[in-house]
Amino acid sequence: MYYGGYPMDIRGIVSYARERKIRVLEDAAHAVGTLDDTGEWPGKYSDGAAFSFYATKNITSGEGGMFLTNDKDLEERVRILSLHGMDRDAWKRYELGNRYAYDVVALGYKYNMPDLTAALVMSQLAKLSTLQARRDRLARIYCDAFEGSNGIVPATQWPLRPARHSWCVFAIIVDDSCGVTRDSVITSLLGNGIGTSVHFPPTHLLASMRHLHTRPLPVTEWAAQRLVSLPLYPDMSDEDAHYVADSVCSAARRSTSRS
């Protein structure tokens, strides 16, 4: 998974997996705009990569996503499963000279993206470079503001070119060893009119998954108690980003001074 959009060593992972005959699928929900150390999108070296176009993502259609793969068999399997298991979609059935007949060859799902929302995505993809440059600018403001800050650490780092971070999520770690807690920072920001989020609550502690929890996961739980995601979107102004960063640092200073 590309947490927040940070590029991973996917070629190393794929090399390790290939030697053991393991297939690799990438969770690229945060990675629209992410490039690896060769300047390639997720899905170039693995068996496939799934991207999200949800409302909070870098490119959005409100819902839906896309799947990239170089494997023709896997591509066909995904197409079939995404449309009720049907072997021919409406375009193929109604093209001139084609027959209406189709078969349902698998127990599939309703995962296909409507054409209207796909058109919206295509129009946004043409603007991706501009949108990405704006995210880069805002992320740089945050990184510079938190450099040397007591108790506030970005949960990521700036990758070396040609790798690129998508900055779908800009998360910080609030270090409570300095006397500041994540929740106190969230409360302080809310008082300044700044909304935040948490990415993510630990899966193994969610109600539907607790029965699968068989061993301690202390690192996961440590991180989940200290992460908070800050606002970052292309229409955000430099002034707003500075305001958020100053508010975070101020909340940390107040908590530290009280301790």
Active-site residue, from 44, 57, 72, 92: 57
Within 10 Å of residue 219's Cβ, how many Cβ atoms?
A: 8
Q: Is 21 labeled as catalytic in the residue annotation?
A: no
Residues in the chain, total: 259
Closest CA to 38 of 60, 18, 9: 9
Q: Identify the residue whose tokens are 């970052």.
A: 232
For residue 27, what are the β-bridge partners?
A: 50
Q: How many Cα atoms occupy the beta-carbon half-sphere of 235 within 13 Å?
A: 0
For residue 23, give both structure tokens: 């297939």
- Cβ distance 60 to 31 under 8 Å? no
C-alpha–C-alpha distance, residues 204 and 192, integer Å: 33
> Dihedral of CA 76/81/87/91: which sign?
negative
Chain position carrying tokens 């999520």 = 169
Helix 238-258 and helix 128-146, axial crossing angle in degrees, nearest 10: 30
- For the stretch 163-197, what's the b/e string if a residue is b when 16 or more beta carbons lie within 10 angstroms of its beta carbon? bbbbbbbbbbbbbbeebbbbebbbebbeeeebebe
132 burial type by CB count under 10 A (0-12 exposed, 13-18 middle, 19+ buried): buried
The residues carrying an active-site annotation are: 57
